[in-house]
Amino acid sequence: MFVSSEVVKWNIKDLKVLDRASTFYSVGHLMIPGGDSKKPNDKYLVAYNKITKDRYLPTGPELSQSAQIFDISGDKMQLILDFPTIGEPHYAQAAAADVIKGRSLKFFDIKTNEHPRATKSEADAKVIREGNKVHVYMTTIRSHLTPDNIEGIRMGDEVYFHVTNLEQDWDVPHGFAIKGANNGELLIMPGETTTLKWVPDRVGIFPMYCTDFCSALHQEMTGYIRVSPAGSNVPLTFHTGK
């Protein structure tokens, strides 16, 4: 086996080497959990290695890199986990799970969502024209968008989708995208409201859809928008599932 690098544990007082451990392959960076805090964790060391070569399946434009966690609490280092990473992180940070666990927010409480464009129930979903600006107040919940059919958008309009994720469950974000839009997509956490601006560049029917797999019926989270020519008199209408 090709070993090009190693980590070394020193006794700093008398500069004595206590232990050496091979890494696979070249250490790029080392990380100690909490290394940027006042209380670094002196029990673990993570080696982020480059030049992984033959360790993982050679797929994709960039090979997986490898990382290794050592228990450094004793004089002898012990390899306790060896895992692939994408890229060799140049500035990684780790913390003990209990530092994070009790303080993480699982979802935003919809009742305390004070976003001015929030839509707190499907009954409140609406589409409003203000000159050439169209505001779509949309909701997402498994497994549909409300509204999911919109007509009366015209060339020259700017369309703002203010999407509220009505879910009140952990780990159920929804995404939102328009086919052919030039900007990115939204990722909306449960209870959150975010906005996507879209300026249609041609007449036609445009699919819109959830981009985050959310259940077996994820594919149902889709809808259509008709864009009519500038100056057309197609009335602004919207509905769901009809």
Give the nearest distance from C-beta 6 to Cu ion in angstroms: 47
Helices and strands, counts by H and E, the chain: 1, 17
Instruction: Give residues 137-176 in contact with Cu ion (rule: CB under 5 A).
Output: 174
| Site for Cu ion contains 210 (CB under 5 A) | yes
Contact between 117 and 192 (Cβ < 8 Å): no
Among 10-18, 81-89, 210-218, 224-232, the segment contacting Cu ion (CB under 5 A): 210-218
Which tokens go with 76?
């002898």
Give the nearest distance from C-beta 216 to Cu ion in angstroms: 11
Give the nearest distance from C-beta 7 to Cu ion in angstroms: 44
Q: Please report where in the chains the tokens 């020519």 appear, as a residue.
A: 229
CB nearer to Cu ion: give 10 or 170. 170
Give the integer Cα–Cα distance in Å for 64 and 87: 7
Give the nearest distance from C-beta 230 to Cu ion in angstroms: 33
Of the candidate residues 214, 226, 227, 238, the single one contacting Cu ion (CB under 5 A): 214
Contact between 214 and 142 (Cβ < 8 Å): yes
Which tokens go with 215?
């259940």
Binding site for Cu ion (CB under 5 A): 174, 210, 214, 221
